[in-house]
Amino acid sequence: MATSIQQRAELQRRIWQIANEVRGSVDGWDFKQYVLGTLFYRFISENFSAYIENGDDSICYAELSDDIITPELKEDAIKTKGYFIYPSKLFCNIAKSAYQNTELNTELAEIFNEIESSANGYESERDIKGLFADFDITSNRLGNTVADKNKRLAAVLKGVADLNFGHFEDNHIDLFGDAYEFLISNYAANAGKSGGEFFTPQNVSKLIAQLALHKQISVNKIYDPACGSGSLLLQAKKHFDSHIIEDGFWGQEINHTTYNLARMNMFLHNVNYNNFDISLGDTLLNPQFKDDKPFDAIVSNPPYSINWIGSDDPTLINDERFAPAGVVAPKSKADFAFIMHALSYLSPKGKAAIVTFPGIFYRGGAEQKIRQYLVDNNFVETVISLAPNLFFGTSIAVNILVLAKNKQENKTQFIDASELFKKETNNNVLTDEHIAQIIAAFDEKKDIAHFSQLVDNSKIAENDYNLAVSSYVEAKDTREVIDIQVLNSQLKTIVANIDSLREQIDEIVEQIAA
């Protein structure tokens, strides 16, 4: 069996191969949708076939005739899996003859429509509807003629079909996440700022998930108010052995394309439709799941310092999420609006781990007043500063804010993890060892010189409620230690040498003058 490093290298090689096939027509950022959409189509086809075959080696669903599918079988499958795919419409059967299919683009459009509409009227309808909306088969970016479009679509299908990792669930790697991360890192220039917003690198996601789930034997459900492609939520799934997430995964996302990716990602990780609830919309102005809170675990990487209506909407100060602080986040910096939203949705026993822009921890005005509310009510458990350049599309050295409502001491922990990183290609990464080191410090709450400090909230109040890590964890002095006595001795020798040289030069000048 291939190792995770080998599988990841093979995945990246294949994706680059597909990119070369369609290069010149579809730029990287758009091309991403076709690769991820095709990966998803392959996965749900194989997953559905495995469900129908139910471990019976004598049955090969892909080889069956569509005619033998009874209405009862179809209905049972939709109720269980959330969707239905006929044998002839499976990925393997379409990919097999893709290059010879002169109607490939229209056939794919029909298949995707059939998969989505199969859920109409069932409990899974909202989870399935629009999943393939961003797989634009009519786009001129695929080519100006039908033949050009089909050629490129066939290349993508064939490339994904050639990925030979066995069953998706047996892979060492996060196939979808790795594919997404690879595409974003290679097309960062095209992606611009959006890459960092849409995707939290897997190593950072792992740290955030461990912080939110720390010492919780079981959680009712896990929630991300700005869930992007779902990478943060799904990192928590990897903790199922030690943490039982009873009611599944919940998230809200404002970007339609990314909302679709998050739902796809759930299916790709074998999270059934009845174990997740991803909603589309503006979390700050149209929050979902009010009737489903509180949540025992919250993870989030909200967009940094975006504009929002803030104080221009007089109703927001009376919103139950923002009212306790007596002030709303500034109109040009919505960071604390997301933080107050998360706190409102957090259960009395839970933890929220939120990626934050460092500036919010020391600026004045409304942000200082919100920090005062958080500190005076003892909601801030830990502030962690991370190394720069961990995210795609931004080199900012971000912080992680951990909130809790069940703290025993009126103290706040600060961890300076800015020196913990490994340089890889264009980005820095956190290794498992780095994550373990941070979690150990988070767990023990002990003072560690130049790394971790537990500070009385009264001292933070005296410091104008500044929560910047550098204000409390003294940086290591890396300057070279100089021995003054040795230096003075060296200077005396140098001065003596200079005097000797001057005497020699004077003698030479006198000889020349004579």
> What is the 3 state secondary structure string of 113-180?
HHHHHCCCCCCCHHHHCCCCCCCCCCCHHHCCCHHHHHHHHHHHHHHHHCCCCCCHHHCCCCHHHHHH
Under 8 Å between Cβ of 122 and 82:
yes
pLDDT, tens digit, 9 for 90 and up, residues 251-284: 999 988 889 888 988 887 778 899 999 999 999 9
Which region among 54-68, 206-220, 422-436, 467-481 has the lowest average model confidence (pLDDT)?
467-481
- For residue 24, pLDDT over 90 is answered with no
Looking at residue 290, its pLDDT comes to 93
Cα 488 to Cα 365: distance, rounded to the nearest angstrom: 51
Q: Taking residues 419-430, what's their average pLDDT?
A: 86
Q: Flag whether pLDDT at 26 surpasses 70.
A: no
Say what the pLDDT of residue 19 is. 72
- The pLDDT value recorded for residue 168 is 52
Over residues 221-250, mean pLDDT: 85
pLDDT at 424: 80
**25: confidence class by pLDDT, cuts 50, 70, 90:** very low
Sign of CA dihedral 226, 228, 229, 231: negative
Amino acid at 113: N
- Please check the confidence at residue 28 and state whether its pLDDT lies above 70: no
What pLDDT is attached to residue 23? 58
Q: According to the model, what pLDDT value does residue 487 have? A: 78
At residue 367 the predicted structure's pLDDT band, cuts being 50, 70 and 90, is very high
Q: Give the pLDDT band of residue 346 (cuts 50, 70, 90).
A: very high
Q: How many angstroms separate the CA atoms of 310 and 301, rounded?
A: 20
Q: Determine the Cα–Cα distance for residues 234 and 214; give it in Å rounded to an integer.
A: 16
Rounded Cα gap, residues 299 and 350, in angstroms? 11
Q: What's the predicted TM-score (pTM) here?
A: 0.84
Which H/E stretch holds residue 222? Answer: strand 222-224
In this predicted structure, what is the pLDDT of residue 1? 45
pLDDT band for position 242 (50/70/90)? low
Q: Which stretch, 32-36, 197-201, 427-431, 486-490, has highest mean pLDDT?
A: 427-431
Is the predicted pLDDT of residue 460 greater than 90, yes or no?
yes
Would you state the pLDDT for residue 192? 43
Q: What gap in Å lies between CA 84 and CA 77, rounded to an integer?
A: 7
Average pLDDT over residues 371-394: 93
Q: What is the mean pLDDT of residues 287-312?
A: 94
Query: What is the pLDDT at residue 166?
Result: 56
CA distances from 276 to 6, 77, 165, 185, 273 (A): 31, 18, 26, 28, 6
Task: Please identify which residue in the block is written with the tokens 């939110």.
Answer: 212
Distances from the Cα of 435 to the Cα of 30, 182, 368, 438, 441, angstroms: 33, 22, 30, 5, 10
Please state, in angstroms and rounded to a whole number, the distance separating the CA atoms of residues 457 and 452: 16
Q: Which helix (H) or strand (E) holds 346?
A: strand 346-356
Residue 454 has pLDDT above 90, yes or no: yes
- 29 pLDDT above the threshold of 80: no
Mean pLDDT over each residue of the chain, to the nearest integer? 87
Cα-only R_g, the chain = 29
Phi first, then psi: what are they for 201, rounded to 5°? -50, 145
